Structure 1
Amino acid sequence: MLARIPSKLFLSLPLLFSFGATPATAISEPGTTNISSPTVRVLNGTYYGTHLAKYDEDLFLGIPYAQPPVGPLRFHPPQSLNTTWDEPRNATEYSPECIGYGSSNWVLGNIVSEDCLTLNVVRPSGISPDEKLPVAVWVHGGYNIQGGALDPRYNLSFIVEQSIEAKTPIIAVSIQYRVSGWGFLFGKEILDAGSANIGFRDQRLALHWVQENIEFFGGDKEKVTLWGESAGAVGVGAQLVAYGGRDDKLFRAAITQSGGPTPSNRYSTPESWQPVYNNVTAAVGCAGANDTLACLRTVPTERLSSVFNSSTTASANWGVQIDHDMILKSGSAQLAAGEFVKVPLLTGRNFDEGTTYATRGINTTSEFLALVQSAGLDNATATTIAAMYPDIPAIGIPATLVGRPSPSEAYLGAQWKRVAAYIGDLQQHAPRRLTSQSWAKYNVSSYSYRFNVLVNGISPSIGATHFQEVAFVFHNTEGEGYKTVVSKDPFEGKPESFLELAKIMSRMWISWVVHGDPNLAGVSNTTWPEYTLEDPKNLVFDVNVTDLTYVEPDYFRAAEIKLRKRKARLDGVTFLVHDNGYDEVPQEDYEPVKRSETQQTFQVSGIHISILHSMHSTSKLPN
């Protein structure tokens, strides 16, 4: 990721494309090492990096972990390096990011290229190979269509610095992987070629590189924690369920922030993707080719990129693909069967995730019902679900918005808080609870959190939304990468409690990487409980409470849902509900079902409706 170099160096760059023709080594050509430069000899040869004296860190940047995926290797699984060298090579600058489409790329003006399969290593200075420090491997997010290791918001120097100050030093690694159509194109032709899930395969090869080489940097290959946020967390989830949950000993623990093995969008099949694949081949003149995939490998980068960044791929699902090889079946099915890597997990979501995904402009109950029905539900089920999310702003999200949106924000819709609550549960909170319960069901240690902070630059109508915890976890208190035309420094103008919470969160994450226990950081008066089926709990990070943290039961609920009884009152009807199909609470604990003698459960995208009750937002429940 970004070393601790002033972000203005990157913000001043124009938007540049080094499509295909420029290899990553154009930024890291073999050269003569400065005598003061740190050097590391890995399996293929020697690299020299950069020493940051002010922070006492060594940086090794833009290191290839695979052959350039260009020409005939486009749309192929990543290929291991097949060269060695004697002369030290330059590892002092980042490689281009993988070609992507979105603000993560164009706002920062980052150079992009097809040749982008590199990683970066940030370590405390002067570490010898026998130090065996714990290792955190960061996987960036960006909806699998954008982002990269060059993003200054992911400055790994900050968290490594915190680990040094805590006297529990770690090594941090960031990886790049192909995104958008370059990494997640799918269809029958892709399946037959064994080229599905290329972006996730990139990540996996990077993990193999870490296993083979991190000891030369002073890291311990047996103490690797895989860590990601949003689409990066989905990538972590894909590694957890890959090959039926086969444990290849690539990591000993995981962290998933706002994502995981059960993303809300369904795992793709080649059949669902085929129309998009056909549209892409037609758009670039390959539809009539005998081998359309071979034809796509010959299309000029600029032309293919313009198609990927157009309405041609508007319906594409840039996510996990069922290829019956790396991914055998849906994440929820694999979790239910215990087909995941049994490593400890730290996972969580932000209170107001739904404001990132919510449909805007919903003003009436009929419009809200239509939104619920758009998931393919029949009218009766959709009506029941809609009733579970009543149009009561006081119990919707975000809590930072009092009442309904103001006239200046009327575009959000009169039922904004209702929609945000429903969508947030569907997209984020339900999958997180399913994951936490699955780990507990199979007796694997896990810890769950929720983040509730309104940062600088975010409107009260948006609240503690998606991504906002990242600056705290990274201890990016200088706001690197946030001072742009589309965002602001999250800490600017905020009280000392914001900085204190950043220290708490970053140190807890470090403690997880080092010890496999977030409670050994010595920075919080609150003990973070392990998640269990019998007593499921989350740790909440909140600058508005005295200790900045508190423990809550993991029962998100509307005003009428009681804490321990897990029920929902709907227009005089009390429905018995299950959490993800695990009926761990004795049935006699529930009140009788009215108007019906049978238990009722509902599912949306395979997730039981009982876990879609997160109307929000406060730790207090009415009696």
Structure 2
Amino acid sequence: MQIITSLAFVAALCSTVFTAPSPLLSKRTSPNEPPPVIDLGYARIQGYLNSTDSQYWYKGIRYASADRFQAPRTPAQHTSVVYNATAYGPICWQAAEGSTTLEGKPPVANFTIGAQSEDCLYLNVNAPAGSCEGSNLPVLVWIHGGGYAAGSAAKGSDFASFITNAGGNIVVVEIQYRLGPFGFLAGQETADFGALNAGLLDQQFALQWVQQHISKFGGNPSHVTIWGESAGAGSVLNQIIANGGNTQKALGLKQPLFQAAIGSSVFLPTQVSYNSPIAEGIYQSLAAFVGCSNSSQASFPCLQATDAATLAYAGLNLSEAAPTGYWTYVPVIEGDSGFLQKRASLLLDQGSKNLNGQKFLGINNQDEGYIFTDMSIKNDTTTNQTQLSSQFNKLLAGLFPLFTAEQIQAVASQYPVSDAPTTGNTFTRISNVIADSTFVCPTYWTAEAFGSNAYKGIFDYGAATHGSDVAWYQGMIWNGKHSVTAENSFAGAFEGFVQSYNPNNNPATNINPYWADFTSGEQLLFNTTTRNTLSEADPSIVKTSSIMVFGTTQMTKCDFWRGKISVNAGL
């Protein structure tokens, strides 16, 4: 944020106070004036009026500071000047997905420093023009995806069009959090001298910031929905189960951090204990890469003192060296007094009374696993059963390093060659394994945990691969690539949920059939008349029991993944 040199904006103070709270913005100051100065206690900021969207934009607001591998804290006080919140803050250091193929093709690290920084705990706020304290608008908090290794709340990530499409009555907050080894370094040394799951603590701190400050932007802190896609949705899941499902009590808060949650492709990679051999191996590999294993000082202080770019380069290389589809730096289980106390499937099984939040909307894409599957075998045409078995076993062992030989065979039996296409047998089998275990089933389990307070849907526009849904609600959604009916059918359901916790209250269209809660056994399939995304919307209701995967129902596959195999799968 840059310092404003002129104080001419002072006259634009927002003075409107409603006589009664309203979920919609019914009275505003002049939308043609710039936004008021916001006093955060530790800093004073002013955004700007984006007249094109008729919105107030506040970019690059620092919500926390943090020393390396430590928990976030309130920033130092700087209230003598007003900061111009008109530019995005630097993004967090980026890592990557594993990219070593079955052929052993070595990954090539593409390392560009750019605007990356260790000082990256910034957020952005979009609010309708004229909104101010007393507007009491529904609040959406967006947590970006990227496998806990990549992503940001920078250019192109805004929800300006989404807000406009909803009728201009939502306040949106987008947050950044530490990634890769900066946010998710585990091991006993980190537990003893630092903070485990630091990236998740960043998110939680940002949610506390929202509770404390969002009313100053016109938002209602008692009407907050958190939403994320992929690892952002995994983050939503982790906030739902955080602190044993009772963050309000654990942190001594006056009210919950959020009331509702949306998970788009809930990402659940292998969860292991913070001091497991896997976690310790990742820690030691990082220390060795940057020369801290042979340092005269202990490894943790050495890692703390290592140049940030050097540490980031190590994290990028080590994460890319993992097998394709594997994520190295991810949340870990801390135990009974920690942020994540048990595996997600176990905590979700406790039911909605033991979870943070009251309402949930879950969406998975039709083809979640494709982009994470080893492309070196995509066009493989072998029919040799021994070779097919070897391919599958090796790839599965790379994705789930704790699996025994018997467990690998159990998975192989669930995804048999006989039920795969003739061409690309192993590719299709592994793609479905990744989809079910890592994205689809965690979305189902979360919806099931909330029961009658949950809605579950399926995105099937275009190729419907993982992440392809984001362009329908984030950034320039009206980009000439979406039909009006398809856009409003899908994005409008989210807009309705954010506004009223009910996706049937779609403010953009009435084209969707009635969407019953998850206990009905029904889901809403977001489809179009053809695979072209410019074709018209064709939404329909599907029976959960009718969704088939490799010869059995989707729910049967999900029951398998949270059965005995869930322990070594880390689910």
Fold shared by both chains (TM-score > 0.5): yes
Distance 1:557 1:189 in 2: 45
**1:112-168 CA-partner distances (Å, limit 9, x unpaired):** 11111011000100112111100000000111111100141x221111111226xxx
Q: Tell me what 1:435 maps to.
A: 446
Q: Tell me what 1:195 maps to.
A: 195
Q: Structure 1 259/97 Cα, relative in aligned 2: closer, same or farther at 3 Å?
A: same
- Which AA in structure 2 matches 1:270? N
Tell me if structure 1 keeps the 8 A contact 2:526–2:537.
no
Tell me if structure 2 keeps the 8 A contact 1:352–1:465.
yes
Distance 1:559 1:320 in 2: 30
Correspondence 1:266 to 2:271: yes
Tell me if structure 2 keeps the 8 A contact 1:369–1:383.
no
Correspondence 1:386 to 2:392: no
Q: Structure 1 508/30 Cα, relative in aligned 2: closer, same or farther at 3 Å?
A: same
Q: Tell me what 1:60 maps to.
A: 58
Q: Structure 1 578/299 Cα, relative in aligned 2: closer, same or farther at 3 Å?
A: closer
Instruction: Give me the TM-score of the superposition, normalised by structure 2.
Output: 0.80
**1:526-578 CA-partner distances (Å, limit 9, x unpaired):** 1111001xx42221111127752111112332575479xx8xxxxxxxxxx69
- SS in structure 2 opposite 1:543? coil
Q: Tell me what 1:32 maps to.
A: 6
5+ long unaligned stretches in structure 1? 1-26, 397-402, 406-412, 455-462, 480-490, 567-576, 583-600, 612-623
Q: Structure 1 471/607 Cα, relative in aligned 2: closer, same or farther at 3 Å?
A: farther
Correspondence 1:284 to 2:274: no
What does residue range 121-200 of structure 1 map to in structure 2 within 5 Å?
Answer: 121-152=125-156, 154-164=157-167, 169-200=169-200
Distance 2:298 2:550 in 1: 58
Q: Tell me what 1:447 maps to.
A: 455
What does residue range 61-100 of structure 1 map to in structure 2 within 5 Å?
Answer: 61-67=59-65, 69=66, 73-100=67-94
Tell me if structure 1 keeps the 8 A contact 2:527–2:538.
yes
- Which AA in structure 2 matches 1:500? T
Query: Which residue of 354, 369, 379 corresponds with 1:354?
Result: 369
What does residue range 490-569 of structure 1 map to in structure 2 within 5 Å?
Answer: 492=481, 498-521=483-506, 523=509, 524-532=511-519, 535-544=520-529, 548-555=538-545, 556-558=547-549, 561=552
Aligned pairs, number: 499
Query: Which residue of 429, 433, 447 corresponds with 1:422?
Result: 433
Distance 2:319 2:568 in 1: 30
Tell me if structure 2 keeps the 8 A contact 1:200–1:235.
yes
Q: Which has the higher contact order (CA 8 A, sep 6+)?
A: 2
- SS in structure 2 opposite 1:527? coil
- Which AA in structure 2 matches 1:530? D
Distance 1:300 1:562 in 2: 51
Distance 2:59 2:475 in 1: 21
Q: CA deviation at 1:76?
A: 0.8
5+ long unaligned stretches in structure 2? 10-32, 98-108, 249-255, 531-535
Distance 1:499 1:149 in 2: 26
Q: CA deviation at 1:380?
A: 5.8
Correspondence 1:257 to 2:264: yes
Q: Tell me what 1:305 maps to.
A: 312
- SS in structure 1 opposite 2:434? helix
Distance 1:122 1:107 in 2: 31
Q: Structure 1 366/453 Cα, relative in aligned 2: closer, same or farther at 3 Å?
A: farther
Q: Tell me what 2:225 maps to.
A: 225
Correspondence 1:580 to 2:559: yes
**1:244-279 CA-partner distances (Å, limit 9, x unpaired):** 11142100100111115xx14224432221122122
Tell me if structure 1 keeps the 8 A contact 2:258–2:357.
no
Tell me if structure 1 keeps the 8 A contact 2:282–2:328.
no
- Which AA in structure 1 matches 2:162? I
- Which AA in structure 2 matches 1:269? Y
Distance 2:86 2:8 in 1: 11
Distance 1:314 1:562 in 2: 35
Tell me if structure 2 keeps the 8 A contact 1:448–1:531.
yes
Q: Tell me what 2:13 maps to.
A: none
- SS in structure 2 opposite 1:164? coil
- Which AA in structure 2 matches 1:293? F
Q: CA deviation at 1:296?
A: 1.6
Tell me if structure 2 keeps the 8 A contact 1:580–1:607.
no
**1:427-466 CA-partner distances (Å, limit 9, x unpaired):** 22222222222222xxx50111111122xxxxxxxx3210
- Off by >6 Å, runs of 4+ in structure 1: 105-109
Q: Tell me what 1:246 maps to.
A: 246
Tell me if structure 2 keeps the 8 A contact 1:404–1:414.
yes
Q: CA deviation at 1:521?
A: 1.1
- Which AA in structure 2 matches 1:553? K
Query: Which residue of 326, 336, 343 corresponds with 2:358?
Result: 343
**1:185-211 CA-partner distances (Å, limit 9, x unpaired):** 111111112410000101111111111
- Which AA in structure 1 matches 2:412? A
Tell me if structure 2 keeps the 8 A contact 1:346–1:446.
yes
Q: CA deviation at 1:304?
A: 1.8
Distance 1:207 1:500 in 2: 33
Query: Which residue of 90, 97, 112 corresponds with 2:116?
Result: 112
Q: CA deviation at 1:423?
A: 2.8
Correspondence 1:605 to 2:566: yes
Q: Structure 1 219/107 Cα, relative in aligned 2: closer, same or farther at 3 Å?
A: farther
Q: Structure 1 317/605 Cα, relative in aligned 2: closer, same or farther at 3 Å?
A: farther
- Which AA in structure 2 matches 1:450? I
Distance 1:175 1:560 in 2: 41
- Which AA in structure 1 matches 2:39? V
Distance 1:540 1:468 in 2: 15
Q: CA deviation at 1:96?
A: 0.7
Distance 2:428 2:122 in 1: 42
Please identify, of 216-225 and 498-507, the stretch whose mean Cα deviation from structure 2 is larger: 498-507
Tell me if structure 2 keeps the 8 A contact 1:31–1:89.
no
Q: CA deviation at 1:58?
A: 0.6
**1:37-95 CA-partner distances (Å, limit 9, x unpaired):** 3223233242111111121111011010112x3xxx11111111231404321111111
- SS in structure 1 opposite 2:167? helix
- Which AA in structure 2 matches 1:58? Y
Distance 1:182 1:433 in 2: 30
Distance 2:320 2:374 in 1: 20
Please identify, of 36-45 and 430-439, the stretch whose mean Cα deviation from structure 2 is larger: 36-45
- Which AA in structure 1 matches 2:431? A
| Identical columns (%) | 26
Distance 2:75 2:192 in 1: 24
Distance 1:438 1:155 in 2: 30
**1:391-412 CA-partner distances (Å, limit 9, x unpaired):** 46xx75xxxxxx666xxxxxxx
Instruction: Give me the TM-score of the superposition, normalised by structure 1.
Output: 0.73
What does residue range 365-384 of structure 1 map to in structure 2 within 5 Å?
Answer: 365-370=385-390, 371-372=392-393, 374=397, 375=400, 382-383=408-409
- SS in structure 2 opposite 1:519? coil
- Which AA in structure 2 matches 1:284? V
